Structure 1
């Protein structure tokens, strides 16, 4: 086995056993129900409600959601979240939120496998229609949006009835 393959497999194992940093419910609920139970995702839940995407994220799926924490939203320029939550900005908010969702269930192991197969990176197409590129950096999955903004998966594989949630420390913004 090559050293690089061993490192990738080690990274996948590290992602799979990472201790959750949020208080999601057991994997018996759907994605939106899980987000609503997390003390670290109040902004995300408010945005999902404002965008009227609750039913979509409670749907059958499967879906993979890269879920920014409240701290990730707080890194955006002052007033950004408040502006996006206004009813007249719903279309823009929907575009941003669907840029965090990929059709299908991509566990950490599956993402690492795609990175390995892709020669060091994997491209995932979001429901918004734009790509996200995943890479391994220092043993962690780092996802880059089309504008070069990055977010690290801080908690992986929060399995839900309709997909999987990966908690991130950044927000993606489509062009």
Structure 2
């Protein structure tokens, strides 16, 4: 009798386990909410680097991240908020700037430029806007590079001002990643060098 009771409990446990796994599998089969960036879907289950490599608008940024040996860092747990300049943003820099930064001897300067686009923590567009409003229309944030960026709102868009007075506008917000969030920007932000 005890054996049949034990067997019945075991069968119930197996049935519950199978049912639970079916629900979990069905949940995983649901399509992730994705955003299109550079002609590619950005998946919230992938990290910053895994998504960025698929964007045709961010090939220069990806090359720079590789040259600065930041792939491992930006693939780590984070979380990070990245203001990601497009290829057009890099192309707008003075002629030769990108090529010069990508040279091995300029790795430290390149790392400084790239980490100037990263804030520790995950800040959605709503978080950024709330921070700006709480600070009377102008919020100052410290980047991973240790220097500040100033955030404001102009014509309903978030504008980021660097240490030199250069400005970048967020063109695509809230591209969620497994280890943070990307906000695409239309200009490269430059720290004081």
Bucket of the pairwise TM-score, normalised by the shorter protein = 0.7 to 0.9
Q: Which runs of 4+ in 1 moved over 2 A?
A: 19-25
TM-score with structure 1 length normalisation? 0.87
Q: Counterpart of 1:163?
A: 180
Are positions 1:48 and 2:65 aligned together?
Answer: yes
Are positions 1:143 and 2:160 aligned together?
Answer: yes
Q: Counterpart of 1:6?
A: none
Instruction: Give the structure, 1 or 2, with the largest relative contact order (CA under 8 Å, sep 6 or more).
Output: 1
Larger radius of gyration: 2
Paired residues of 2:83 and 2:184 also in contact (CA < 8 A):
yes
**Equivalent residue for 1:124, pick from 124, 141, 164:** 141
Structure 1 pair 80/24, CA: closer, same or farther in 2 (3 Å)?
farther
Unmatched tracts of structure 2, length 5 or more? 1-34
Q: CA RMSD in A?
A: 1.0
Q: Counterpart of 1:16?
A: none
Deviation, structure 1 residue 25: 2.2
Q: How does 1:12-161 map to 2 (within 5 A)?
A: 20-22=36-38, 23-161=40-178
Give the Cα separation in 1 of the matches to 2:119 and 2:165: 18
